[in-house]
A and B are shown apart, each in its own frame.
Chain A
């Protein structure tokens, strides 16, 4: 790979397992994934396929133990995040790589006003950034209220506690996510807002520092379809506005097809297919991707039939020697049960892990 093509984030050979007293469960099995600058990558897979483990490992929020990184590297702007200590790792979290979660109500603190929570996020990052650079005075001005402590905004009422600069910044963050009356929303508690509004607040918080990568783990699963449409449209628009890459984790292939530039299909801890969205939907190569597409109801019972994938996902507590999909695959061959297929470039920029397309 030439230097000019250096991706924003490169995951290579990443293996993560969860160890319990009884068993060792491999959640990610020698995973490779690249994320280019300013692209929308959607990771699709069913529950237990390792998509959330992937997201948490990038941002460094995996609970270790039980999680354990067995091998691999996560290169972000040519720094291997996995080699950093927790203090240095924290410098990336929120400022370079941000994340939003599935249920915004559990991500927000119920007893603090929304404005204060966004302020806290901004303040913490500003302090971290300003620690040893010249922006320090600027940060001080922005952060320190008359009460003289950077913790002040959190413990005081917003209209008094927030300095003007900080307040302006919060309002512009809320305007970014198309909240129509930010002055009003600032002094609300999370429970007073709707699910869609809360998720917008989370996005505003995550994008306040203009991170280069935003990870969104099932951001619209808890929302209604009309709200989901609004939030997805917003995220897609913000990607260009803020110049960020988005890694969307979803179980819904339809959602992925609507917003993703690239689709990564995962199955039982493996990336099985990785392609441009149009290539994947016009010609899915992996039998699992094909099966997944045939599973989505489109049409009525009279003029269409669903073709469910037989069987269930394998139990990851047991080691599977061959391809993990082989037991459910209609094209399974002898070799599929003997060794795992590697991710190969079957078509230009269309990666697939299946022996049907060569060794």
Chain B
């Protein structure tokens, strides 16, 4: 793959992924679609972390899978390392040497009948080739990098704890020395103390190997801790996108405000959860509201919100919001 040295390792331009629905006979004879990812444009600079946050069903995992070409996009472009993955014919084997993913549940992403070290060696053999000796050497380096002993490498996944399994999954993802690692809810199946271990490990690895992360998470605290930029998704749309610190301290889209204020903070003197007023629930994906999809729940909604979807507009350097009444949250 031609490696042009661009600032952004990944760029998506108006990326769309629609899934057709199977809801029996439609009287109008029209196929309906779930707009899982609708018109999402993002950039990820090299060596940085982008966090995609949102609630279940907002399309964040679909976005990750589409970027990896695990599912073909319906429209839009994915530009990875200077190459348009949608318009050109891509050699997937070469692509996956540079782009890897860590899944949410290490239980199901590791083969239960394969030794841990062989699981880590598999992508090396498949993608890099190389002789047995160099692969073995690399595997022990990788296991050490993620904090596992050589003895643990000889075990089966069933003999490891959840946190250790996630370490194996991370070792396997960074094995082919990828440029981009997509982390899909890497800690949500883990306990608090183990989550802290994995987050620290991810930061260490990023520094050591100059990795770029796309972090998919529903946990605002994790996104805040790990990321440089945050993209907030709601019902398939990007509603806000900008520098992490700015978004956390001064969220501007009404949905982001709701999302951040409903994340529990470990502070009994600041009981934000008991003071907020939240209307309604996440809309159905098949039949979302017209216009801005958040308008039925939005405290500032006016007539124009239900007519057309507000475009993503820049309000300050690198901070984009899709809302007609962004001044009201200032």
Q: A residues engaging B (CB < 8 A)?
A: 46-47, 194, 196-197, 224-230, 232-233, 236, 251-255, 257-260, 277-278, 281, 291-301, 304, 306-309, 312
Q: Which of A229, A304, A309 has the most CB of B within 10 A?
A: A229
Closest to B57 in A: A224
Residues of chain B within 8 A of A293, CB atoms compared: 266
Residue in A254, A257, A306 whose beta carbon sits within 8 Å of that of B196 in the complex: A306
Q: Check if B225 sits within 8 Å of A297, measured CB to CB.
A: yes
Residues of chain A within 8 A of B221, CB atoms compared: 254, 296-298
Q: Check if A224 sits within 8 Å of B268, measured CB to CB.
A: no
Residues of chain A within 8 A of B258, CB atoms compared: 226
B14 within 8 A of A: no
Residues of chain B within 8 A of A304, CB atoms compared: 225
Residues of chain A within 8 A of B163, CB atoms compared: 312
Q: Check if A251 sits within 8 Å of B273, measured CB to CB.
A: no
Residues of chain B within 8 A of A292, CB atoms compared: 192-193
Contact count band on B: 35 or more
Closest to B56 in A: A224
Q: Check if A301 sits within 8 Å of B192, measured CB to CB.
A: no
Nearest CB in chain B: distance from A324 CB, A: 14
Measured CA separation A86–B67 after assembly (Å): 56
Q: Check if A297 sits within 8 Å of B224, measured CB to CB.
A: yes
- The list of the 6 closest CB pairs from A to B, nearest first, reads A297-B225, A229-B262, A308-B196, A295-B196, A46-B191, A254-B264
Q: Check if B225 sits within 8 Å of A301, measured CB to CB.
A: yes
Q: Check if A194 sits within 8 Å of B281, measured CB to CB.
A: yes
Residues of chain A within 8 A of B282, CB atoms compared: 194, 224, 226
Q: Check if A224 sits within 8 Å of B55, measured CB to CB.
A: yes
B94 within 8 A of A: no
Q: Check if A225 sits within 8 Å of B263, measured CB to CB.
A: yes
Residues of chain A within 8 A of B148, CB atoms compared: none
B43 within 8 A of A: no
22 contacts between A and B (CB under 8 A): A224-B55, A224-B218, A226-B258, A226-B259, A226-B282, A229-B262, A232-B274, A251-B191, A253-B192, A254-B221, A254-B264, A255-B264, A258-B272, A294-B196, A295-B192, A296-B221, A296-B266, A298-B221, A300-B244, A300-B245, A308-B196, A309-B197
B278 within 8 A of A: yes
Measured CA separation A253–B282 after assembly (Å): 26
Closest to A222 in B: B56
Q: Helix, strand, loop or mixed for chain A's interface?
A: helix
Q: Check if A251 sits within 8 Å of B192, measured CB to CB.
A: yes
Measured CA separation A309–B222 after assembly (Å): 17
Per-position binary interface string of chain B over residues 251-279, scored 1 when its CB falls under 8 Å from any chain A CB and 0 otherwise:
00000001100111111110111101010
Per-position binary interface string of chain B over residues 203-225, scored 1 when its CB falls under 8 Å from any chain A CB and 0 otherwise:
10000000000000010111011
Nearest CB in chain B: distance from A306 CB, A: 4
B199 within 8 A of A: yes
Q: Check if A297 sits within 8 Å of B278, measured CB to CB.
A: no
Q: Check if A233 sits within 8 Å of B273, measured CB to CB.
A: yes
Nearest CB in chain B: distance from A285 CB, A: 16
Q: Check if B273 sits within 8 Å of A232, measured CB to CB.
A: yes
B6 within 8 A of A: no
Q: Check if A291 sits within 8 Å of B193, measured CB to CB.
A: yes
Q: Check if A254 sits within 8 Å of B265, measured CB to CB.
A: yes
Residues of chain B within 8 A of A230, CB atoms compared: 278
**Apart from A226-B55, A229-B273, A298-B221: 5 A-B pairs, beta carbons within 8 A:** A226-B281, A252-B264, A258-B273, A299-B224, A306-B200
Residues of chain B within 8 A of A255, CB atoms compared: 264
Residues of chain B within 8 A of A281, CB atoms compared: 266-269
Q: Check if B267 sits within 8 Å of A227, measured CB to CB.
A: no
Residues of chain A within 8 A of B273, CB atoms compared: 229, 232-233, 258-259
Residues of chain A within 8 A of B8, CB atoms compared: none
Measured CA separation A151–B196 after assembly (Å): 51
Residues of chain B within 8 A of A229, CB atoms compared: 262, 264, 273, 276, 278
Residue in B200, B224, B276 whose beta carbon sits within 8 Å of that of A300 in the complex: B224
Residues of chain B within 8 A of A254, CB atoms compared: 221, 263-266
Residues of chain A within 8 A of B220, CB atoms compared: 225
Residues of chain A within 8 A of B248, CB atoms compared: 300
Closest to A293 in B: B266
Measured CA separation A260–B267 after assembly (Å): 11
Residues of chain A within 8 A of B194, CB atoms compared: 46, 308, 312
B226 within 8 A of A: yes
Measured CA separation A304–B245 after assembly (Å): 13
